[in-house]
Chain A
Amino acid sequence: MDAMIISFLISVLSGMGVGGGGLFVIYLSVFTSTPQLAAQGMNLLFFLFSSFSSVAVQLTRRNIRFAAVTFMAAFGVIGALGGAYLTRFLPEEYLRKIFGIMLVAGGILAFRKSFPKDKKDAGDTKDTSSFPFKKEK
């Protein structure tokens, strides 16, 4: 029962885009003693379930830029091939420590971003975007 509640709460955070994937790995490796690599594999599957259902309910309600999404994902899958290949050469202990460092760095970044920015640019309507796939108006 605890496992179900914990996975539900982590999934809510993940579905809100706050994050949460890392927490599921922590839960598996600390509370269920799952080896690091197996925890990472299970976390990927967990993320697929939680993020797919979140995207499904938001698909028609939010502004999704499919060109940018496809563009970034295309480079992302190439990176994922490289990253998954690298796991062959790194002992699980190193992976765990790298994972820990990533969490600390990500946590600090998320903490900084959680505070609202100065509104010094408010009212400036100039197009400051360098986004390459603009929609025709």
Chain B
Amino acid sequence: MEIIKSQRRGALYLAVAGFIAGVVNGLLGAGGGILIISALSRIMKDELPEKKDVFVNSLCVMLPISALSCFLYALRGDLSTEGFGIFALPAIAGGIVGGLLIDKIRSGALKRLFAALVIISGVLLITK
């Protein structure tokens, strides 16, 4: 009984995290992934003990969500593909390299650098 209760709580946690990530992604066109990572790390710590697996599962969750958000933006006319061509190939190549590097790099320092960059960028946007 306790197990079923715990699993129900786990399912609810995953559902709520998925929903909020979706709202954030639809509203801001980015983000949400960190919520998925946090939920998967907490609820599936035995099934996904490796952080790298959590990251890949998070990408898999965010792909269909972002695809729908992208479609909705396009439908409303907020998606301009003009000039995107220059970003498309590097995006694909970078994704492949990132996918291969995930096994190779101990990314603590990289994550701290990224976090600092993100915080500075956030402050820039708020004060712009």
Q: Which A residues are within 8 Å of any B CB, using their own CB?
A: 3-5, 7-26, 29-30, 37-58, 61-66, 68-69, 71-88, 90, 95-111, 113-116, 127-132, 134-135
User: What is the bound-complex CA distance between A57 and B55, given in angstroms?
Assistant: 13
Q: A79-B18, A79-B25 are in contact. Are A58 and B118 (CB under 8 A)?
A: no
Shortest Cβ distance from A29 into B: residue: B125
Residues of B within 8 Å of A134, CB to CB, are 47
Q: What would 17 more interface pairs be, CB under 8 Å, given A17-B37, A97-B125, A99-B28?
A: A8-B91, A12-B101, A16-B105, A17-B58, A18-B107, A38-B78, A45-B70, A47-B66, A48-B67, A54-B102, A65-B57, A72-B61, A77-B64, A79-B65, A86-B26, A96-B128, A111-B111
**Complex contact B22–A76 (CB within 8 A):** yes
**Complex contact B69–A84 (CB within 8 A):** yes
User: What is the bound-complex CA distance between A111 and B56, given in angstroms?
Assistant: 20
Residues of A within 8 Å of B118, CB to CB, are 19, 22-23, 103-104, 106-107, 110
Among B40, B50, B96, the most chain A Cβ lie within 10 Å of the Cβ of B96
Residue B1 interfacial (CB < 8 Å): no
- Count, A-B residue pairs, CB within 8 A: 396
Q: Which B residues are within 8 Å of any A CB, using their own CB?
A: 6-11, 13-34, 36-40, 43-48, 50, 52-70, 72-74, 76, 78-81, 84, 86-103, 105, 107-108, 110-112, 114-119, 121-128
Name B's interface SS: helix
**Complex contact B100–A107 (CB within 8 A):** no
**Complex contact B47–A130 (CB within 8 A):** no
User: What is the bound-complex CA distance between A127 and B103, given in angstroms?
Assistant: 26
**Complex contact A131–B61 (CB within 8 A):** no
Shortest distance from the beta carbon of A106 to any chain B beta carbon, whole Å: 5
**Complex contact B34–A84 (CB within 8 A):** no
**Complex contact B95–A51 (CB within 8 A):** yes
Shortest distance from the beta carbon of A137 to any chain B beta carbon, whole Å: 12
User: What is the bound-complex CA distance between A113 and B50, given in angstroms?
Assistant: 14
